[in-house]
């Protein structure tokens, strides 16, 4: 596989490089792409040095697969140029997620939507990915009528500048501001931009992406997105109401049997998922599973994952490896 990584100097781009190293992915060539201010920088991968190039130069090298992690504006401007050359583009931004002709892919759920003709694939929002992975087997076995989700999202989801704001505030330095308020010792019920209906763009991603991934526009999703002073790892409090009756034991067993999920649910021993333990791991961690006694056939779950890995880089690389195995070979 001749792989281009667009946005290689960003948090997700750097995580993709770590994964390529960890998984020992066989690539004939890595094409590291970033903005002009990073042009000429060197990156190392498996004892080999690569020079960062601009997106124009990367396009000329004719990659087979390109993972875009440089924001929606770059994707809108350049993705089509790559696909027109026959490249398979996996886009981490929100640019194409809701386009009807672009599959929104989580490999554990709907990898079959990718064919030889599928040149553009969208990676879902990080919060959506971890939730649908955790709930997928429950959804397929019992059906889900409604989901109510509150997120506790780390600052790394906003980018490096947000991490810098958090760490600078802890040092008493408050010059840099990515958020409209302090984030240290605080929680911001504000993810993305506010819309006329009162939701934010991040909340509507959870709502509409979930319906698209499962192909079910009847499922109700209500979301509240909160940014918390955590560096890495998103947490979610999720309440689900099922269509068919299930016992607590059945729900726990289904979660335990779900690929890509690790059950951590021993509250009597203070064992439950936390972002500090999910960081640098690819699984989605689920715990605090319990019945919701206020409504029939409903359950609460606590879902945690590393937003830079399964929420972005790992999911994208899984798609790239699928393309390599099933299409390029």
Indicate the domain borders of the chain: 2-124+311-328, 127-307
Q: Are 279 and 187 in contact (CB under 8 A)?
A: no
CATH of 2-124+311-328, one of 3.40.50.170, 3.50.50.60, 3.40.50.720, 3.40.50.300: 3.40.50.720
Q: Are 306 and 278 in contact (CB under 8 A)?
A: yes
Q: 198: part of which helix (H) or strand (E)? A: none
User: Can you tell me the mean pLDDT for 284-307?
Assistant: 98
Residue 181 annotated among the catalytic residues of the structure: no
Tell me, what's the pLDDT at 207?
98
Question: Sheet containing 298-305: which strands, arranged edge to edge?
Answer: 220-227, 144-153, 234-242, 298-305, 284-291, 261-263
Q: Which one is catalytic: 53, 87, 126, 136?
A: 126
Tell me, what's the pLDDT at 223?
98
Given a cut of 90, whether residue 210 has pLDDT beyond it is yes
Per-residue confidence band for 310, with pLDDT thresholds at 50, 70 and 90: very high
Tell me, what's the pLDDT at 246?
98
| Predicted confidence (pLDDT) per residue in 91-104, tens digit | 999 999 999 999 99
Length of the chain: 329
Which architecture does CATH list for 127-307?
Answer: 2-Layer Sandwich (3.30)
Tell me, what's the pLDDT at 26?
78
Given a cut of 90, whether residue 58 has pLDDT beyond it is yes
Give the C-alpha separation, 125 to 307, whole Å: 9
The model scores a pTM over 0.85: yes
Residue 234 annotated among the catalytic residues of the structure: yes
Tell me, what's the pLDDT at 82?
98
Given a cut of 90, whether residue 174 has pLDDT beyond it is no
Q: Token pair 């790559």 is at which residue?
A: 82
DSSP per-residue codes, 67-90: EE-S-HHHHHHHHHHHHHTTPEEE
Question: Six-digit token pair at 82?
Answer: 């790559």
Question: Which range has the worst mean pLDDT, 25-39, 65-79, 278-292?
Answer: 25-39
Q: Token pair 């090298």 is at which residue?
A: 61
Tell me, what's the pLDDT at 27?
81
Per-residue confidence band for 298, with pLDDT thresholds at 50, 70 and 90: very high
DSSP per-residue codes, 92-108: -SSSSTT-TTS-B--HH
Tell me, what's the pLDDT at 24?
81
Handedness of CA 9, 24, 107, 150 (dihedral sign): negative
Tell me, what's the pLDDT at 47?
84
CA distances from 82 to 7, 32, 58, 116 (A): 15, 15, 10, 15
Tell me, what's the pLDDT at 28?
78
For the chain, the C-alpha Rg in angstroms (whole number) is 20
Q: CA 221, 282, 130 angle in degrees (round to 5)?
A: 0
DSSP per-residue codes, 269-292: GTB---HHHHTT--SEEEEEEEE-
Tell me, what's the pLDDT at 175?
80
Handedness of CA 139, 147, 300, 194 (dihedral sign): positive
DSSP state of 310: I
User: Can you tell me the mean pLDDT for 111-120?
Assistant: 97
Q: Which one is catalytic: 53, 87, 136, 234?
A: 234
CB proximity list for 114: less than 8 A, separation 6 or greater = 103, 105, 121, 319, 322, 323, 326, 327
| Predicted confidence (pLDDT) per residue in 64-73, tens digit | 999 999 999 9
CA end-to-end span of the chain, whole Å? 9
Given a cut of 90, whether residue 23 has pLDDT beyond it is no
State whether residue 305 is helix, strand or coil: strand
CB proximity list for 23: less than 8 A, separation 6 or greater = 317
Q: Token pair 């590393």 is at which residue?
A: 306
Tell me, what's the pLDDT at 327?
95
């Amino acid at each position: 596989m001749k792989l281009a990584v667009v946005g290689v100097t960003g948090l997700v781009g750097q995580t993709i490089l770590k994964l390529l190293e960890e998984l020992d992915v066989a690539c004939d060539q890595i094409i590291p792409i970033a903005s002009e201010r990073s042009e000429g920088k060197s990156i190392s991968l498996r004892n080999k040095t690569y020079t960062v190039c601009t997106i124009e130069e990367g396009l000329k090298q004719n990659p087979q697969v390109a993972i875009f992690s440089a924001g929606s504006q770059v994707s809108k401007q350049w993705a089509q140029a790559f696909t027109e050359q026959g490249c398979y583009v996996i886009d981490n931004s929100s640019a194409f997620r809701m386009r009807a002709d672009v599959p929104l892919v989580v490999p554990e759920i709907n990898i079959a939507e990718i064919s030889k003709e599928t040149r553009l694939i969208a990676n879902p929002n990080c919060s959506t990915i971890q939730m649908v992975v955790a709930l997928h087997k429950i959804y397929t076995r019992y059906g889900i009528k409604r989901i109510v989700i509150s997120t506790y999202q780390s600052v790394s989801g906003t980018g490096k500048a947000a991490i810098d704001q958090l760490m600078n505030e802890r040092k008493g330095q408050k010059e840099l501001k990515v958020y409209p308020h302090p984030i240290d010792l605080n929680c911001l019920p504000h993810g993305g931009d506010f819309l006329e209906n009162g939701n934010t763009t991040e909340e509507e991603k959870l709502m509409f992406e979930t319906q698209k991934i499962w192909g079910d526009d009847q499922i109700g999703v209500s979301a509240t997105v909160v940014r918390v002073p955590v560096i890495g790892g998103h947490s979610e409090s999720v309440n689900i109401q099922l269509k068919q009756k299930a016992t607590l034991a059945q729900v726990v067993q289904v979660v335990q049997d779900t690929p890509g999920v690790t059950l951590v649910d021993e509250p009597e021993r203070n064992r439950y998922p936390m972002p500090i333990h999910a960081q640098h791991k690819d699984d989605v961690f689920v715990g605090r599973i319990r019945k919701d006694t206020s409504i029939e056939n409903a359950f609460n779950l606590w879902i945690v994952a590393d937003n830079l890995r399964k929420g972005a880089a790992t999911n994208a690389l899984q798609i790239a490896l699928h393309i390599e195995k099933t299409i390029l070979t």
